[in-house]
Amino acid sequence: MEKYQVIRRFKDLEDNDYIYDPNIKERSVYPREGLEPTKKRIKELSTEKNKIGEVLIKKIEEEAEEVVEEEAEEVVQEEKTEEAEEVIEE
């Protein structure tokens, strides 16, 4: 299931009035655990075509998270290589 960042506080009328809030960590990701919204519902919340008339959620890009993790691993590998080269030079 894709995850979405809540960008504006809202009450989900299709989920027993559950409150999503970007300022509260456990309520800042849509959908909450156990909820499987329809594509239509996701489109409503991610566009201005809802009762509030504003974009409420935006897709969290998994690729962006993976890139950050890969870059961090590369830095660690480079540091290990530099340390090994220093030991060899001594």
Buried b (16+ CB within 10 A) or exposed e, 9-43: ebebeebeeeebebeeeeebbbbeeeeebeeebbe
pLDDT for 78: 73
**Residues 1, 14 share a domain:** yes
**Residues 52, 13 share a domain:** yes
Distance CA 10, CA 3 (A): 16
Provide the domain limits for residue 15.
1-59
Distance CA 23, CA 14 (A): 21
pLDDT for 57: 97
pTM strictly above 0.85: no
pLDDT for 62: 66
pLDDT for 64: 54
Domain count, the chain: 2
pLDDT digit string (tens) for the chain, length 90 residues: 899 999 999 999 999 999 999 999 999 999 999 999 999 999 999 999 999 999 999 999 866 556 545 665 676 677 677 777 777 776
**Residues 54, 12 share a domain:** yes
